[in-house]
Amino acid sequence: MVNHLVINNNNNNNNNLCLSIKYFVYIIAFRNNSSINCSQYKDDYAVLLSFPFHVDLNPLLQIPRRTNGLMDAKERIYYLNIINQKYVPLTIYCLKYLQKLYIRNTSFYNTNHQLPIEIDYLATTLTHLSIYDTKITHLPEQIGKLKYLQSLELVNTNLITLPNSIGNLSSLIVLYLPNNKLISLPKTIKNIQSLSQIVLKNNPYLHSIQSLNYLSKLKALQTDNCPIETLPLYLPQLTDLHMSKNNLTNLIGIRTLGYKTNHRKFFYFNNNHIQSIPPQIQYVKNLYFLNLDYNHLISLPLDIFNVTTLHYLYIRYNNFSVIELKAIIEKFNITHPYMKLYYLNRKNSIVKNIIN
């Protein structure tokens, strides 16, 4: 790797020149070397000194928008938070004890907007990787080598696709990918049976999440504001499902959600195009909260009145007739005297919001 030029002058202009030269040297080094030589750094202090910016170590207060890191008693960096810098230095991958890496509003060197392949240098240590407000449209196949990674967060990065190798992340628990441009999910994602929480909200080109079917430990799934057309299926531990502002027209398969757990279910299907509720709704275990606001319902199946665990039901702004809505209200008053029923019809004058 090209050595950094150091200018020993306290003048502000010279300091700025020094930083600019460092950035330039980093870019040249990246373009001329397919990998980095970490052997030249004897310890984590030496790696930090190679950065073209200052890192606050073990600060009393972790001030927002200030780059900082945490070092243990053996002088090993295990946490690094890079915020509002020009570039992420390649030598960051020489921090061989790094467990948690957070990057916000800081670019990578490569011009193809891909996470550097050197990420696999952290394969044996990294457990959390979070990247915010930084353009990364693709992840390299090397991401699949992070066998201890528990949390992967990419937010507002313009991410388009995930590599097939993501299915190798056998320790992954949280996958957090909101505010991106995902088109699809790889089929291999169903291999990550450790996944417990997935957030995909605000991906305007994501039409299907069928690749998530059969994830045995998934408990929470959020896909608000995505054009998804069908429910995921066979998620036995699911308890929290947020699918507001999708393109759902029905809830076929709802009985396959959370069917192996008795924990309370919270399902959000408001602002869709749902025209009817399937009779299988009665087989959802411990359905506690159901939001069906802003859909196209004209009736409810008799089977929903058998869901004795239902405590909150939202059916505002649907297409019920006055007679139908009054019948629904009267029936729930008999079968569910303890339930909160929220109703406000789109077409008629019934405007009450809450019963009981």
* Tens-digit pLDDT profile for residues 40-62: 999 999 999 999 999 999 999 87
pLDDT of residue 111: 60
- Both tokens assigned to 126: 């990294």
For residue 135, count other CB atoms closer than 10 A to its CB.
13
Q: Point out which residues pair with 265 in neighbouring strands.
A: 287
Alpha helices in the chain (DSSP H): 12-32, 44-49, 322-335
Pairing of strands 354-355, 340-342: antiparallel
Q: What is the pTM of this model?
A: 0.88
Distance from C-alpha of 139 to C-alpha of 256, rounded to nearest angstrom? 32
pLDDT of residue 344: 86
- Both tokens assigned to 121: 């240098």
Same-domain check for residues 183 and 201: no
Q: What is the CATH number of the domain that holds 55?
A: 3.80.10
Mark which of 139, 159, 188 sits at the end of a domain.
Answer: 188
* Tens-digit pLDDT profile for residues 276-325: 999 999 999 999 999 999 999 999 999 999 999 999 999 999 999 999 99
Distance from C-alpha of 221 to C-alpha of 209, rounded to nearest angstrom? 10
Domain that holds residue 273: 196-356
Mark which of 188, 218, 250 sits at the end of a domain.
Answer: 188
pLDDT category at 8 given cuts 50, 70, 90 is very low
Rg of the chain over Cα atoms, rounded to whole angstroms, equals: 26
**Residue at 320: amino acid letter:** F
CB 169 within 8 A of CB 146: yes
Task: Count up the domains in the chain and report the number.
Answer: 2
For tokens 């199946």, what's the residue? 301
pLDDT of residue 62: 79
pLDDT of residue 143: 98
Residue 16 reports pLDDT greater than 90: no
pLDDT of residue 347: 57
Same-domain check for residues 138 and 205: no
Phi-psi region of 43 (alpha: psi -120 to 50; beta: other; left: phi over 0): beta
Distance from C-alpha of 4 to C-alpha of 194, rounded to nearest angstrom? 43
CB 293 within 8 A of CB 317: yes
Element containing residue 102 per DSSP (H, E): strand 100-104
Same-domain check for residues 53 and 108: yes
Same-domain check for residues 125 and 213: no
* Tens-digit pLDDT profile for residues 61-112: 878 789 999 999 999 999 999 999 999 999 999 999 999 999 999 998 766 8
pLDDT category at 113 given cuts 50, 70, 90 is confident
Distance from C-alpha of 261 to C-alpha of 302, rounded to nearest angstrom? 24
Least confident of 192-196, 323-327, 350-354: 350-354
Residue 20 reports pLDDT greater than 50: no
Q: Point out which residues pair with 77 in neighbouring strands.
A: 71
